[in-house]
Amino acid sequence: MNETINNSNPCIDINECQFSPSVCGPNSTCTNQLGSYNCSCLDGFTATNSGLPISINNICTDVNECLKTSEFCGPNSHCTNSFGSYICSCLSGFTVTNSSEPVSGSNPCNDINECLNSSLVCGPNANCSNYNGNYSCSCWEGYNTTNMNETINYSNPCIDINECQFSPSLCGPNSTCTNQLGSYNCSCLDGFTATNSSLPISINNICTDVNECLKTSEFCGPNSHCTNSVGSYICSCLSGFTVTNSSEPVSGSNPC
């Protein structure tokens, strides 16, 4: 530098990339060129002002790829920005298409069909309905969850409802309720019949007294009088007649 420029002391290229601090600023790459140099940002970084050359006064800053989530991570995903990079993860209820590759726009997150393992998810006696990114469990008719304050699942399964414990009775008066798995059965007590015999016995079709005396000869036999009572009847002989076997009540098989 102290000598005159001449053939034996020629001008040579300055390698600006050896300067410290870097002429390009942080998060950049400096490439030396004959008589010049070039600055470029590292992957995941971009110039503060894209309209100006990269330099110590226009440094490379982090690119927030998460502002373009669908482009980088694809649908049904969450993007977490990091310094010079980003991380994609699937939303709850979704899983990556190819589990051996990271989540990306070309390897997106798809819905998990939890209902493929319905019994493990909802437990027994339940229906499983799959939705995009979610699912729901509902008990079969005649069943209810063990703990009604908690979600139906394998640990809180659907169990049979004992309808016969309801009060008032679902079967109505003068009846017997028999619990069954997922259901129940109503039957009338002896001496009673359903109001409408073509419909199931219920609180709206109760058991009423059978008037056996409408069929006197069948129940009491000839020469007798039938007195109806609630759920039963009493047979007695007409005046001038007596029962065949006095140790047994009057009936069609023990007539007067």
Domains of the chain in sequence order? 16-62 (2.10.25), 65-111 (2.10.25), 114-160 (2.10.25), 163-209 (2.10.25), 211-256 (2.10.25)
Give the integer Cα–Cα distance in Å for 157 and 174.
34
Indicate the residue type of 178: T
Res 127: pLDDT: 96
Q: Is 198 helix (H, G, I), strand (E, B) or coil?
A: coil
Looking at residue 10, what is its pLDDT?
A: 75
Check if the beta carbon of residue 114 is closer than 8 Å to that of residue 82.
no
Both tokens of 52, joined, read 């100006």
Nearest residue to 254 (alpha-carbon basis) of 226, 222, 216: 222
Structure confidence at residue 216 (pLDDT): 60
Instruction: Please name the residues in contact with 240: beta carbons below 8 A apart, sequence gap of 6 or more.
Output: none
Specify whether the CB–CB gap between 143 and 159 falls below 8 A.
Answer: yes
Q: Which residues contact 33 (CB under 8 A, 6 or more apart)?
A: none
Q: Are 183 and 140 in contact (CB under 8 A)?
A: no
Q: Are 207 and 199 in contact (CB under 8 A)?
A: no
CB atoms within 10 A of CB 232: 13
With beta carbons less than 8 A apart as the criterion, state whether 167 and 177 touch. Answer: no
Q: Which two tokens stand for residue 74?
A: 């694809």
For position 111, what pLDDT does the model report? 97
Query: What distance in Å separates the CA atoms of residue 42 and residue 37, rounded to the nearest whole number?
Result: 16
pLDDT value, residue 52: 95
The residues near 85 (Cβ < 8 Å, ≥ 6 apart) are 43, 44, 65
Tell me the pLDDT tens digit for each residue of 182-196: 999 999 999 999 999
Please tell me the predicted confidence (pLDDT) of residue 69: 60
Instruction: Give the C-alpha separation, 140 to 181, whole Å.
Output: 11
**184-158-155 Cα angle (round to 5):** 155
Longest dimension (CA), the chain: 164
Q: Which two tokens stand for residue 189?
A: 């007590």
* Reported pTM: 0.61
Q: Nearest CA to 101 among 73, 129, 62? A: 73
DSSP conformational letter for 42? P
Alpha-carbon distance 111 to 134, whole Å? Answer: 8
Ranges of the chain whose pLDDT falls below 70? 1-2, 6, 69-70, 216-217
Closest CA to 89 of 117, 66, 114: 66
Helix (H, G, I), strand (E, B) or coil at 163: helix
pLDDT at residue 133 in the model:
93
